[in-house]
Structures are given as structure tokens and as C-alpha cells.
Amino acid sequence: RRSSRLACLPGHWHFVPAGQVDSSNPQHVLEQELHEELGCEWDEVVDSRLLALMDCGAEQGHKSDFIFWLRLSLNAADVEERFACAEDSSEHDGLIFVRVPGRWRPASVATRTLALDEFLGRYQLVDIARRSLILFERLVQDGPVTA
């Protein structure tokens, strides 16, 4: 969840890592944001895929965002622990793991987990996050992405 102290969309839920592509190397930006926002390192990513290039919508000035899917070698409890000590911890004040139907591994259950439909229905999400989750769910159902 974006911190309530932020000027842009405070308290809204979105994905981490997230950030501006302010380099000619988008992977470097992704690696940096992964470290800063979650405290995780790129060598802990076991699979990564570019899912889409999407318009962020009016709430963020229609800028374009790359939507990536990352699978980490860490379990959810490890990610939560790293998140608590992350470099940019003031940017976010909450973390929830979302279960995609048919793709959740019980061994990685974290303290705060929600079913996808519950998360979409109960929480105020940044528009791009809502549309990205719906896209991811469709891709998982169709088979090209395995979570």
C-alpha cells in the first residue's frame, strides 16, 4: 500500500517493485526498485516475464508502465521480512499477498493473504494495478504464465 504520507494516490494499493524508467536500461531500473522497495536482490529472481506495456490511466497522467511478473526464490515470509527493512520503506506502509485461483503454493502463505476476487473487491487499488491483476489472472487461466 502506498504510504498515506505520499502526495500521489496515498493509501492506494499497487505493486512492488514499481518506479519510473529513468534509465536507458529498464532491467536495471527493475533490479534497483526490487532492492529499494522489497529488499530483494536480482539473483533471487528465478523467472521474470514482461507481460504488457500499459497506459496508467488518467489518475497517473496516462504514462506508460511496463508490467512484469517476477517469481522469487524466497517464500512470502522471507519477502515480508525483507520488506520491513527495505531501503524505501517510507514509500509503502503495507504488503498483501494475493492468491491467484489455482496457482497458490500453501508453503508460501504469508501473514496477510487474500483471494484475488476479495482483494479486487475490498481494497482501493491504483487503476493500473487492478487492470494488471485482471490481465495476470487471464494469462494464468490461458496457460502461458505459471505462478
Q: Which residue has the cell 526490487?
A: 34
Computed over its alpha carbons, how large is the radius of gyration of the chain?
15
pTM: 0.83
Please report, as a single letter, which amino acid is at residue 57: G
By CB atoms closer than 10 A (0-12, 13-18, 19+), residue 123 is: middle
Walk along the chain (147 residues) and give the pLDDT tens digit of each residue: 999 998 889 999 998 888 778 888 888 999 999 999 999 999 999 999 888 989 988 888 888 888 898 989 998 889 999 999 998 878 888 899 888 776 555 445 556 888 888 999 999 999 999 999 988 888 887 765 555
- Strands, DSSP E only, in the chain? 45-55, 64-72, 97-99, 113-115
